[in-house]
């Protein structure tokens, strides 16, 4: 965790305040957020379903990314008062407005992959 007064943090705040694209990328950017948003864009999911559907994500990272998306009011966490507790995540109204952007990014990524001659599911390490 970096200090909020560091040059890096101040520069990030400055660019996010002046550039809508930078702000959007700061909300959806990172290794795991696109995978989370892709799944929640299709509907509400329980925590365990999310964890199982995202291969390679650690418990700690999933919790961290979900909290960041919740703080940005993109998703909401619903806790049901049951034993054992049931927790679900879903897109907020604000989060649902991202659907066209997420689709455009997905379409562009697929097109770019094809242009480079890669197939879906290809990995760098074989």
3-state secondary structure labels for all residues of the chain: CCCCCCHHHHHHHHHHHHCHHHHHHHHHCCCCHHHHHHHHCCCCEEHHHHHHHCCCCCHHHHHHHHHHHHHCCCEEEEEECCCCCEEEEEECHHHHCCHHHHHHHHHHHHHHHHHCCCCCCCCCCC
Residue 16: what pLDDT? 82
Residue 12: what pLDDT? 82
Does the pTM surpass 0.75? The reply is yes
Average pLDDT, the chain: 90
Residue 8: what pLDDT? 85
Residues of the chain scoring pLDDT < 70: 1-2, 121-126
Residue 125: what pLDDT? 47
Residue 118: what pLDDT? 83
């Amino acid at each position: 965790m970096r200090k909020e007064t560091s040059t890096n943090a101040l520069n990030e705040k400055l660019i996010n305040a002046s550039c809508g694209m930078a702000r959007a990328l700061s909300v959806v950017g990172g290794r795991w957020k696109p995978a989370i948003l892709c799944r929640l864009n299709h509907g509400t999911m329980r925590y365990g379903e999310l964890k199982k559907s995202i291969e390679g994500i650690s418990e700690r990272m999933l919790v961290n990314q979900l909290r960041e998306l919740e703080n940005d009011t993109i998703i909401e966490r619903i806790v049901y008062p049951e034993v054992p507790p049931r927790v679900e995540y879903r897109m907020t109204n604000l989060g649902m407005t991202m659907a066209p952007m997420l689709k455009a990014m997905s379409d562009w990524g697929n097109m770019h992959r094809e242009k480079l001659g890669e197939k879906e599911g290809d990995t760098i390490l074989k």
